[in-house]
Amino acid sequence: MKAITVQPKKPGSAAYEDVPEPDPGDGSLLVEAVATGVCGTDTEIVEGKYGWAPPGRDRLVLGHESLGRVVDPGPARAFKEGDLVVGIVRRPDPVPCPNCAVGEWDMCRNGEYTERGIKQIAGFMSDRWRVEPEYAIRLDPALGIRGVLLEPATVVAKAWEQVSIVGQRAFWEPQRVLVTGAGPIGLLAALLGRQRGLSVHVLDVVTAGPKPGLVEDLGATYHCGKIADVGFEPDVIVECTGVGQVIVDSFKHVAAGGVVCLTGIGSGGRTTGLPVADVGSKMVLQNNVVVGSVNANKRHWYKAAQDLLRADRAWLSRLISRREKPWNFEEALRRSPQDDVKVVIEFAEA
Ligand code: BGC
């Protein structure tokens, strides 16, 4: 079969190549790939900045945002041939740390977790893949190709759960949310904010392309420019850019008692005018919380699947802005900040 593979930490090493059939050790459920989403992490891996091959191997099958159709359910009674499924990304560390021991692998404390298509386990960008039945999520067939949005939706389902848990430390009735970045994570965070009945504002740098319309059609407000210019102090900021200046601005402008949830993974970058102690004092005097949030456990996968099912199907379809064939994976990795939202690699008809 064919797969998109990469030699982690070696820029430009990605290739669409012949690989052996999926390893039975990856799980008893055999799945035919339908689509995989492309995200910033995939780009980082291809650029040689992130990623780990399985032990004893040089190359890693890329892809952690999956959607596939069960070809052979094996002994698993809960699945049947033809079911649409998505594979969970992370596996608990083998020690295990206390969080992994209770199924909260997203909160792994020793860093020895593994991740499909990212860290030491084959990903989903192959014609066929295998998964353990307990790490497969069956989707309502009505979602079709939109099911490929489940993985990014789990990331924001966790982020929202973190925000509301933090909010419970005091009396708290949040009204206005600012989401920074109108990529797939930002738009899905905005969707979940609207599903919670909040007034949602989304900030990005582009003025054209599909993003402003997608925000407006959620019943949210699109802003272009700086956080300082949105005209209010948000109760919640879900930061989805990973850009240093935006992160600092979110600390500065979050409302008293407000929560900033960081989901973006960036690096370096210059920030201007960062008086650290002043920002710290503001956050102390206003009881602010900054919470980082990564990955998702099974609870979030379950919740995110429910959230996607409740969303407007036509709106979800518009998040998939481009479909590329696996042999054109390089095109899929080149994403336009204005015209692309979620680019998917399509292996088979949904
Ligand atoms: C994935 C997460 C993963 C994180 C760090 C993100 O792109 O969505 O599942 O935990 O990268 O590797």
How far does residue 249's CA lie from ligand 1's centre (Å)?
Answer: 24
CA-CA distance, 161 to 164, in Å (whole number)?
Answer: 5
Mean pLDDT of 229-253: 96
pLDDT band for position 10 (cuts 50, 70, 90): very high
86 backbone dihedrals φ, ψ, rounded to 5°: -125, 140
The pLDDT value recorded for residue 63 is 98
Q: Is the pLDDT of residue 152 over 80?
A: yes
Q: Is the pLDDT of residue 249 over 80?
A: yes
Please tell me which residue, 266 or 156, carries the higher pLDDT value. 156
CA-CA distance, 94 to 114, in Å (whole number)?
Answer: 9
Helix axes 298-310, 184-195, angle to 10 degrees: 80
Q: Which residues touch 220 (CB under 8 Å, ≥6 apart)?
A: 190, 193, 194, 199, 200, 201, 202
The pLDDT value recorded for residue 276 is 87
**CA–centroid distance for 144 within its chain:** 19
Number of residues in the chain: 350
**Which of the listed residues 47, 64, 112, 263 should we mutate to test ligand 1's pocket, taking the one with most ligand atoms within 8 A of CB?**
64
pLDDT tens sequence across 184-226: 999 999 999 999 999 999 999 999 999 999 999 999 999 999 9
Closest ligand 1 atom to Cα of 65: 8
For 171, other C-beta atoms within 10 Å of its C-beta total 7
Please name the residue whose Cα sits nearest to atom 1 of ligand 1: 295
How far does residue 25's CA lie from ligand 1's centre (Å)?
Answer: 22
CA-CA distance, 204 to 119, in Å (whole number)?
Answer: 30
Please name the residue whose Cα sits nearest to atom 7 of ligand 1: 41
How far does residue 173's CA lie from ligand 1's centre (Å)?
Answer: 30
Closest ligand 1 atom to Cα of 41: 7
Please name the residue whose Cα sits nearest to atom 11 of ligand 1: 41
The pLDDT value recorded for residue 272 is 65
Per-position b or e across 316-341, b if 16+ CB within 10 A of its CB: bebbbbbebebeebeebbebeeeebb
Residue 159 Cβ contacting ligand 1 at under 6 Å:
no
Residue 294 Cβ contacting ligand 1 at under 6 Å:
yes
CA-CA distance, 120 to 204, in Å (whole number)?
Answer: 34
* DSSP type of residue 119: B
Residue 115 Cβ contacting ligand 1 at under 6 Å:
yes
**Which of the listed residues 42, 108, 115, 150 should we mutate to test ligand 1's pocket, taking the one with most ligand atoms within 8 A of CB?**
115
pLDDT band for position 133 (cuts 50, 70, 90): very high
pLDDT tens sequence across 292-309: 999 999 999 999 999 999
Of the candidates 117, 136, 105, 129, which has an alpha carbon nearest to the alpha carbon of residue 59?
Answer: 117
Residue 143 Cβ contacting ligand 1 at under 6 Å:
no
SS3 (DSSP) at 120: strand
Q: Is the pLDDT of residue 267 over 90?
A: no
Please name the residue whose Cα sits nearest to atom 4 of ligand 1: 295
For 29, other C-beta atoms within 10 Å of its C-beta total 26
Q: Is the pLDDT of residue 342 over 70?
A: yes
Mean pLDDT of 249-269: 93
pLDDT tens sequence across 34-76: 999 999 999 999 999 999 999 999 999 999 999 999 999 999 8
Residue 221 Cβ contacting ligand 1 at under 6 Å:
no
pLDDT tens sequence across 74-127: 998 899 999 999 999 999 999 999 999 999 999 999 999 999 999 999 999 999
Q: DSSP readout, 66-116?
A: EEEEEEE-TT-TT--TT-EEEE--EE--SS--HHHHTT-GGG-SSS--EEE
How far does residue 286's CA lie from ligand 1's centre (Å)?
Answer: 31
Residue 89 Cβ contacting ligand 1 at under 6 Å:
yes
Q: Report percent pLDDT > 90 for the chain.
A: 95
User: In the beta sheet, which residues pair with residue 220?
Assistant: none
In contact, 48 and 6? CB cutoff 8 Å: no
Helix runs in the chain, H state only: 40-46, 98-101, 150-167, 184-195, 211-216, 244-253, 276-285, 298-310, 313-319, 329-333
Mean pLDDT of 146-159: 98
SS3 (DSSP) at 350: coil
Closest ligand 1 atom to Cα of 296: 9
The pLDDT value recorded for residue 274 is 73
pLDDT band for position 271 (cuts 50, 70, 90): low
In contact, 189 and 201? CB cutoff 8 Å: no
How far does residue 170's CA lie from ligand 1's centre (Å)?
Answer: 30
